Amino acid sequence: RAGAHGAAMEPECRVLSIQSHVVRGYVGNKAATFPLQVLGFEVDTVNSVQFSNHTGYAHWKGQVLNSDELHELYEGLKLNKVNRYDYVLTGYTRDTSFLAMVVDIVQELKQQNSDLVYVCDPVMGDKWNGEGSMYVPKDLLPVYRDKVVPVADIITPNQFEAELLTGRKIYTEKDALEVMDMLHAMGPETVVITSSDLQAPLGNDYLIALGSHRKTKADGSRITQRIRVESPKVDAVFVGTGDLFAAMLLAWTHKHPNNLKVACEKTVSAMQHVLQRTIKSAKVQAGEGNKPNSAQLELRMVQSKKDIENPEIIVKATVL
């Protein structure tokens, strides 16, 4: 596959990303594509919706792709025999039939390439002030649990989503590790709980993420690497952070396949750089004493190109 530049060229790595598109701002594919491209991946995007902006603004307009239209786009790729992918990436979805179609496509792509890695962010809801609530229709939970997660290789739920998928509440780190084991048993070999309300050893100004990588060795024995990452809380509500996180985790686990610690350190450090730059810039735009609005809090993606490409490690992970 490598051309004239032989050794210097990495083999082409192609990602099919099925996510939302916004004209203005950074969520879904707009949050995932740029970082992946900067990190050397070919990204083929299917836009599950096309909206003017994310729905946290006062107004939004746009179109939604249905499952038949998704299938039609995939058929076009198949007819041209360009349906070979190394990765599939999915995030926020509101429709069960669309999600079921994604599963069909992933299964077919895994027949084309048995090494295909499916990175799934099972976006269903979150906790506010300790209370969890779903912001997608309830009937998506069984589809994620019974159909999607079993074909996924890497999943990035938050604590609430991990609890929903396993039917088990997390109160302690030990609970979280057991929940991650339950999630491994459902299929994925890499599980990252992207945020939790667990008490951080570094104190209340930190947010805990946990990761677990289970590998089965040739002799059938299993090794599990587990890590904890504590990152400084940033005092603002951002949109698109989960999408950016999943995309960068895809890239860094690809570059460090057997080192979840380093992959997470690079992912979380890059996140910190982007969020710090975003909040600083948003505060300047809003002006002294004013709370930044949705438009001002859009991720400073392009401005963070160097941090995404080569993140200075400012957050360390602890091996558990």
Residue 128's pLDDT is: 85
pLDDT higher than threshold 70 for residue 4 = no
Catalytic residue chosen out of the listed positions 95, 121, 153, 243: 243
112's tokens: 């084309």
Residue 123's pLDDT is: 97
- Mean pLDDT, residues 71-93 taken together: 97
pLDDT higher than threshold 50 for residue 1 = no
Residue-wise pLDDT for 7-35, tens only, equals 566 789 999 999 999 999 999 999 999 99
Residue-wise pLDDT for 124-149, tens only, equals 999 988 889 999 999 999 999 999 99
- Mean pLDDT, residues 202-225 taken together: 93
CA-wise closest residue to 43 among 29, 54, 23: 29
- Mean pLDDT, residues 176-182 taken together: 98
**Distance, CA of 175 to CA of 167 (rounded, Å):** 12
Q: Using alpha carbons only, how large is the chain's radius of gyration in Å?
A: 19
**Distance, CA of 34 to CA of 23 (rounded, Å):** 14
CATH class of 13-285+300-319: alpha beta
Residue-wise pLDDT for 306-320, tens only, equals 999 999 999 999 999
88's tokens: 């599939």
pLDDT band at 291 (very low <50, low <70, confident <90, very high): very high
Residue 8's pLDDT is: 60
Percent of the chain at pLDDT > 90 equals 92
Q: Tell me which amino acid residue 221 is.
A: S
Residue 11's pLDDT is: 82
pLDDT higher than threshold 70 for residue 241 = yes
**Distance, CA of 93 to CA of 122 (rounded, Å):** 9
Whether residue 243 lies in the annotated active site: yes
- Mean pLDDT, residues 171-199 taken together: 97
Predicted TM-score (pTM) of this structure:
0.95
**Distance, CA of 182 to CA of 224 (rounded, Å):** 13
- Mean pLDDT, residues 33-59 taken together: 98
For residue 16, what are the contacts with CB-CB under 8 A and spacing of at least 6?
44, 46, 85, 87, 88, 89, 109
For residue 57, what are the contacts with CB-CB under 8 A and spacing of at least 6?
294, 295
